[in-house]
Structures are given as C-alpha cells and as structure tokens.
A = this chain, B = another copy of it.
C-alpha cells in the first residue's frame, strides 16, 4: 500500500494517508474540520478546499464553477489523493481564527493484531496438531520380523523420538500394502493428543514422501456468516479464505430463533445439516481456490458461539434460551469430521473449541487463545461487542468472563435512523467547535441514509464533547443551536437535511436514540466494572484491551472512552484481533500447545451470570451516564470535556 503525505494549510498540519483516500478522509484523520453534510457525495458542496500542489483526481461538482476548478478549488469529499498533496482550507465562514478552531478529534482505531506464524515459531510452539513424517524403514528379515505396525512405531521412535502412539484400525487395514508399495518408505500422519499424557494417533499412511502436503482448516461458525481458512500446516501459511452466509439464516437472524427452530420436530437435524452444508460450501471454495485435494485435509478446528456449536454437533440447545441457561456441554471430544457431515477424509478429526457457558462461547475462547491473552502478564480486557457483548478479564494467572445483553444499538438497531454498516451509513462525524456544523463520512461515500453503530458512537461522543449533551444524554435546552430542534420523540439533532440525504427525510439523532445507546454502553461497562470488582480490582488496573468482532475495527477509541464504553487505557494498549474466533481456530491448527492449553484455560475461566451478581444492577444504573456517574474513572475524558 502506497502512502502519501497530505499537508493542510494554513494550519500547516501533515498526515500520511493511503493512495486513493479522499481529502475529506485525510482531514478526518488529521483532526481537521471541514463542513460536509452529504457524506462525501458532492451534493452539499460545503467541503470546498484549494489544492495548491500535488496530483489529485475527482473533486468536480455542479456546486463548483469552471473558474473555481481551474483555480484548484475542489470538493474534499470526492478528491482522491494520487501523490503528496498540499491543500488550503477556505475560510468562507471566517472560522479559521488562528487555525485552532478547525481542530476536531483525530480518529484512533485499535492496532490490528495479526495471525502470526513467526511468533509461534519464535516461541517454539509451531507444532501442528497434525504432522506428517517420512519414514525409511528397514525391510523385514528373518531376525527382524516385527509386525508392520510395530515397525512403524519403532521407526517413529528412532527417527523422530515419537512415543505413546496408537495406530487406528483404518490405518492398520492398509499398512501392509502401503509399506511394500515403495520399499518401506512411507509418510505417516500423526494426530497429537488434545490432553496432556494422551496418545498420539497415527491416522494415515501413504507410500513415498508427502510431508509437505499437510493441510488443515480453521472454521468460524458465525450466527450470520461462516468463515474459513485453509492452512498449510507444513509452512504455516494461509492458502485460502472464504466465507458464506450460514444456511440457517432463513430460520432467523439470532440464536434464539435458531433454538426455537431446533426444538421443532426434526428441526435440530435440519439446523445441523444446514450449517454443515454451509461449511462444506466454504471448504469447497477454498479447495478450488488453492487447488488442493479434499483428501489432503488432515484436520479441522471449528469455533462458534455456544448455540452454533450445539447445532453443529446436534446437541439439544433447548435450555440455552431458558433460565437458568444450561447448555448440554461446554467441552467436546475430538470427532471424526465425516460423522458431522463434513466432506473430508475419514481420518480427518474435527476439534470444536470449548465454550464457557450458554452465552460465552467457543468463539470467545478461541479469541482469548488466538490473541494470546491467556499468556500475557498484563491485566487485559477482551471484549467482543455485538447484540451480546462478551467480556473476558484477566491474564495468565486467572480469567473471568460474562456476557452482557447490550441490545442491538451497536448494530444500528433500536435507533430511529439506525442501520447496519452498509453503503450510505454515517460512519464518522465531527462537529465544528463553534458552529456545530457536521463533517460527515459515509460508508462507500454514498449519500447518507442512516447511522451505523460506529457512527452512532462517534456522534454521541461528539455531541457530548461539544457540550450539546449533558451527562444524562439530554440535549442542552438553554442555548439556541441551529441543528437542535424538538422532534416527534423529543429533542433531536439534525445530522443531514433531507435535500442532502440519500433518503426522503432528515437524518436525526434524538434523545430516545441516545438513551438506547447509553443503555447499551452501560450494560457493557457495568459488566466490565462488576467483573473486575468481583476479583477485588479496579477498572483503572486494566492495562490492555483486546477488541474482537466486526464492530471492533470501527470503534473510534477516544469516542469509546468519552462516552464510557471502554475504560481508559493508553491507545497503544488497545489491540484489534478481527475475527477472534477464526484466528483462534487457525492458531489451534498450527500449535498443539494451544489445543493443550485451552483445556486448562477454560477450566480456570470463571464465568459470572451478571444478573446473579448483587452489585451489577447498581453498576448498571451508575453507568447510565456519559461517561459515568463517577468522573474519576474517566480522568482523560474529563480533561477533554472540560477543555
């Protein structure tokens, strides 16, 4: 990815951006305000700037005259950076008094924490749970007529110091022929035990040398989407990735509807078959992409939430949705992949990530394992934000976890003009320090049609920081603000006027929306605070935050701390692991250490039912403020607000 420097004048601030970024995006990153109400589509014509040097494309609009264009005037929202660029802000409204007033918060997102095979190598734990080994065995002689199976076991001991081996019946049945096909030169596939002191299983035998053809799969069984990775277990490289909508989707979007379906006659079997079919589809796509044969897949690790795991294993999920929320099981034995309906070789073993409880599932455990949280010394908060937010707090010493019912606000649900993070969703917004004119960006730079979760967070934080909202989330009523008005559901802030919107009404955020948002963030923060206090510590003791899940990558960290969603830590101590479930499943395919560790990690992971913790209700009520009733928990936010 090429980066270019964009320099803003007269404030003389520079920032590096990716080639092809718009100048409006560059301004957002630089923390410089440029009015823009239409989401960067050139409709409002407010984001005029002058390009003084460098190459750009686009930026034309019917709002600009030909003369303007020749003079270098462009609309920032549609001007793409093609080299280092210097531009000049246009002081049309006389706001550039000394440059200070253009300052808006810069955006900080969590650092992406990559799936890192080199890290595994350095730690000496790149030991795929399924390995192939090449054996050159001596031919049997009169004075050495050990059984074929014994000869392999002895060869593995002598050549690779492998011990405690079991040979499966299926392998035994072909061992005689395969050994003699290529003069006792064979490749054996070893599957390592998933518990300490367990036995290593010889699961396949091939004549000749095939050690470099050893492949595994990592699958994240999401409620909405199934994601897969095809991994070269010899090199550690990811060879292919694919995803597809979970075939169960037509029976409901959330886990509860799936459980209800599964309770119907033959429903459980149907749910199992649907998700297995989706997984098979994802696998087929990856195999086609990488040109690897199905029979070369030796192993698969899957992770999903507790309901998804139950449905895939055909375990009755009924009690997951009924108090006291008892799943059938939270740990699962290794299972022949074919027994689960996967189109994989007979010898391929499927391993399912264990869950913690009905609402802290294998996806979260996989995230904890994959992110390395369970091995860190730093007191860490792991959080996967969605309708249900799962929280894990701890370090190598101990771990506690809980699920919080945040509601759908972060997915744009329950918000007047909320929407999913799709084209036209307002995803970023700054307010001019004095005019409160918004500077909006939308997803795909389409005309704004609504507010997605990450946009909502930023908007609430901006309104609060600019003093337009009080701590209870109510709009100031003592000042006349152009964009604040009385609406159908009480006071509201107009983000986009109908004529600039991609829809036939104004796009607003009202006090009811803000209350919904506050309840969502309060549920999560109260969960964090309750958990940490249950173990006798304080929120301020948290040293590191790991974000997982799709939403995590879009969270503006300052906004999250301003509104009291996340506790305050240094921004460089916040990591984003993306699809933690998929990452953890992949790590398990590459490191048997992780598979061994997970058993112990799960055992020492204490789960709390927040509704059963006395303190939780009080914590929740205290969190129904921006950022919290107790300002001392958010000292940095306090500084920002009061400045």
Q: Could you list which residues of chain A lie within 8 angstroms of chain B, going by C-beta atoms?
A: 140-150, 164, 166-169, 172-173, 175-177, 195, 197-199, 313-316, 318-319, 323-333, 335, 339, 355, 357-358, 609, 611-612
State A141–B611 Cα separation when bound (angstroms). 13
Partner of A327, one of B147, B164, B331, B355: B147
Other A-B contacts than A143-B609, A149-B329, A150-B330, 9 sampled, CB-CB below 8 A, are A142-B324, A145-B326, A148-B329, A149-B330, A164-B195, A172-B313, A172-B332, A173-B313, A177-B316
State A457–B592 Cα separation when bound (angstroms). 62
A172 touches B142 (CB 8 A): no
Q: How far is the CB of A130 from chain B (nearest CB, A)?
A: 18
Q: Indicate whether A323 sits within 8 Å of B142 (C-beta atoms), given known contacts A315-B173, A328-B172.
A: yes
B168 touches A328 (CB 8 A): no
Partner of A145, one of B142, B168, B324: B324
Number of copies of this chain that the complex holds: 2
State A358–B315 Cα separation when bound (angstroms). 45
Q: How far is the CB of A334 from chain B (nearest CB, A)?
A: 9
Q: How far is the CB of A328 from chain B (nearest CB, A)?
A: 5
B339 touches A169 (CB 8 A): yes
Residues of chain B lying within 8 A (CB to CB) of residue A318: 176
B173 touches A314 (CB 8 A): yes
State A339–B175 Cα separation when bound (angstroms). 19
Partner of A333, one of B166, B314, B316, B339: B166
A335 touches B169 (CB 8 A): yes
Q: How far is the CB of A364 from chain B (nearest CB, A)?
A: 15
Residues of chain B lying within 8 A (CB to CB) of residue A314: 173
B326 touches A169 (CB 8 A): no
Q: How far is the CB of A512 from chain B (nearest CB, A)?
A: 32
B612 touches A328 (CB 8 A): no
State A253–B167 Cα separation when bound (angstroms). 31
B143 touches A612 (CB 8 A): yes
Residues of chain B lying within 8 A (CB to CB) of residue A140: 319, 324, 326
State A323–B139 Cα separation when bound (angstroms). 12
Q: How far is the CB of A265 from chain B (nearest CB, A)?
A: 14
Residues of chain B lying within 8 A (CB to CB) of residue A333: 166-169
State A324–B554 Cα separation when bound (angstroms). 69
Q: Indicate whether A329 sits within 8 Å of B167 (C-beta atoms), given known contacts A141-B324, A324-B140.
A: yes
State A370–B144 Cα separation when bound (angstroms). 29
State A357–B145 Cα separation when bound (angstroms). 8
State A173–B169 Cα separation when bound (angstroms). 25
Residues of chain B lying within 8 A (CB to CB) of residue A175: 328-329
Residues of chain B lying within 8 A (CB to CB) of residue A147: 326-330, 355, 357
Residues of chain B lying within 8 A (CB to CB) of residue A326: 140, 145-148
Residues of chain B lying within 8 A (CB to CB) of residue A195: 164, 199
State A238–B329 Cα separation when bound (angstroms). 38
Residue of B nearest to A330 (CB): B147
Residues of chain B lying within 8 A (CB to CB) of residue A145: 324-326, 357-358, 609
Please provide the 7 A-B residue pairs with the shortest distance between their CB atoms, ordered closest to farther.
A149-B329, A197-B197, A145-B324, A176-B316, A142-B324, A147-B330, A147-B327
Residues of chain B lying within 8 A (CB to CB) of residue A143: 609, 612
State A190–B210 Cα separation when bound (angstroms). 39
Residues of chain B lying within 8 A (CB to CB) of residue A176: 315-316, 318-319, 328
Residues of chain B lying within 8 A (CB to CB) of residue A197: 197-198
Question: A197, A314, A326 — which one has the most chain B CB atoms within 10 A of its CB?
Answer: A326
Residue of B nearest to A146 (CB): B326
Q: How far is the CB of A350 from chain B (nearest CB, A)?
A: 10
State A333–B169 Cα separation when bound (angstroms). 7
Q: Indicate whether A328 sits within 8 Å of B169 (C-beta atoms), given known contacts A176-B319, A199-B195, A316-B177.
A: no
Residues of chain B lying within 8 A (CB to CB) of residue A168: 333
Question: A167, A173, A176 — which one has the most chain B CB atoms within 10 A of its CB?
Answer: A176
